[in-house]
Copies of this chain bind each other. A is one copy, B any other.
Amino acid sequence: MLIHEDRLFPAEPSTRAIAKALYEQVRGLPIVSPHGHTQAEWFAGNQSFPDPAKLFVQPDHYVYRMLYSQGVSMEDLEIGQAEIKDARKVWRIFASHYYLFRGTPTRTWLDFCFQELFGLEERLSEKTADLYYDVISAKLKTPEFLPRALYERFQIEVLATTDSPLDSLEAHKAIQASGWKARIIPTFRPDSVVDPEFKGFAGNIEKLGGLTGGDTSTWAGYLKALRAARERFRALGCTATDHGHPTAQTADLSPAEAESLFREVLRGGADPARQELFRAQMLTEMARMSLEDGLVMQIHPGSVRNHNRRIFERFGRDTGADIPSPTNYVQALRPLLDAFGNEPGLSVILFTLDESTYSRELAPLAGHYPCLKLGPPWWFYDSPEGMVRFREAVTETAGFYNTVGFNDDTRAFLSIPARHDVARRMDCGFLARLVTDHRLDEDEAVELAHALTYGLVKKAYHL
């Protein structure tokens, strides 16, 4: 067997027993996925997923960044190609390098998929590459493996996608019009129209005006168009926005200063500091709009995007070369918090790629400001050790109730159950340790296991 019933539980037997008992209480709860990168088109069209390489290798930057780091070329993996020419060859390369993932969450997620979804029980390797390829290919063609069937099999209660304000959201509309009883909702991610460094920024803002029927060449018109775009998302069930800035910097300029800055970045040629100031100001504007329309704000700062220049030039954005960098929150968030930090109607969820901020800045901030909550460990830290470090670093200062449950944050639809399963196990293990140490009673641990799995995410994301 690839996966063991007791995986990820603490080794010490009495703690493990408590962890298992807690897990039994939550393993069957529905999946609430408030933040991720699946495509609404999959569920609108409900077509078969094409092949194992297209499904598991090509879209998963966790997978190909590791292969690339060990000398496998991006070309051999056909990364960035719309159609994969030799999917079996790509799969064989992946299979023969599968040992590289030992000790990584990718391995844990994939083994879960292989066994639980495809019934595979022998480890993936060069030797079993073709067996895997054939079994997975065959199953993908069956009705049970169509996107909607999988959605239901996974017991997903809500699934949020991540979408540009320039997206027509046709797929979301089609799902809702189809009568299929699923809750798939968009998330408002405005990078393309709030980040002056985004490709085609000025054109994007013009397009935004076109979509909402207003003039976006003025600051007031631009803000109005953003409000209209948010409204368009809300009408389709959206409850949250998402902001992926290089830093957590916020600003609170006077309207006149903001207007002048807007004109400057729109013209192009603003220097990096002014571009950063514009993004900073836009976080505060988004908070202001959230106060009005109730959308929850997610802030995901601290990633240096496209770090590898040649890979970026050749393969484009999001191809596995984003690297975290030191992130400051305590000074950076101050302008936004000075303006709205004590507003009961505002809800801001903070994420980090700089774990040193958990105990130093994020837990103290979330343990004080009513509007702040802490997102789950993100990206590289969506992992067993990352989850332990997160709970150990934040719980004593911010408690459990200033956290918001789990985000799977994935492009890999089939990995969703595996990822939620890891989170449930790790949370139950953490709670079990508190019970064994007599820091928590067992009835409280049961209540918390439920909250961390289901209650907090629904509340925090207004679902």
Binding site for B on A (CB under 8 A): 3-4, 6-12, 14-15, 65-66, 68-71, 99-105, 107-108, 123, 304, 307-311, 320-326, 328, 330-331, 334, 337-338, 341-342, 344, 353-356, 359-361, 363-370, 372, 380-381, 383-386, 389, 392-393, 395-402, 433-434, 436-441, 444, 447-448
Contact = CB atoms under 8 A, between A and B. Distances in A.
Contact of A401 (B70, B311, B383): B70
Question: Of residues A70, A323, A324, A433, which shows the largest number of chain B Cβ atoms within 10 Å of its Cβ?
Answer: A323
A440 to B, nearest CB: 6
A383 B381 CA distance: 23
- Nearest 4 A-B pairs (CB), nearest first? A4-B438, A7-B438, A383-B396, A103-B395
A375 B150 CA distance: 43
Question: Of residues A324, A331, A386, A439, which shows the largest number of chain B Cβ atoms within 10 Å of its Cβ?
Answer: A439
A441 B121 CA distance: 13
Contacts of A325: 328, 330-331, 360-361
B380 A434 contact: no
A380 B394 CA distance: 10
A437 B7 contact: yes
A251 B109 CA distance: 40
A367 B65 contact: yes
Contact of A324 (B304, B364, B448): B364
Contacts of A368: 65, 68-69, 307-308, 320-321, 323
A309 B331 contact: no
A324 B69 contact: no
11 contacts: A8-B437, A11-B15, A65-B368, A66-B367, A69-B372, A71-B370, A100-B399, A103-B400, A108-B439, A307-B365, A380-B397
A397 B4 contact: no
Nearest to A365: B323
Copy tally for this chain in the complex stands at 3
Contacts of A401: 70, 99-100
A429 to B, nearest CB: 9
A166 to B, nearest CB: 29
Contacts of A4: 438
B353 A380 contact: no
A334 to B, nearest CB: 7
A307 B328 contact: no
A342 B103 contact: no
Contacts of A304: 330-331
A264 to B, nearest CB: 25
Nearest to A429: B437
A303 to B, nearest CB: 9
A71 B69 CA distance: 47
Contacts of A381: 359
A137 to B, nearest CB: 26
Contact of A360 (B14, B334, B356, B361): B356
Contacts of A324: 330, 360-361, 364
A442 to B, nearest CB: 12
Given A337-B308, A364-B380, A399-B104, A437 B9 contact: yes
Contacts of A389: 392
Contacts of A105: 396
A444 B104 CA distance: 13
A418 B402 CA distance: 25
A436 to B, nearest CB: 4
Contacts of A10: 11
Contacts of A331: 304, 325
B8 A11 contact: no
A402 B69 CA distance: 8
A395 B104 contact: yes
Contacts of A100: 399, 401
A363 B342 contact: no
Nearest to A372: B69
B359 A398 contact: no
B308 A440 contact: no
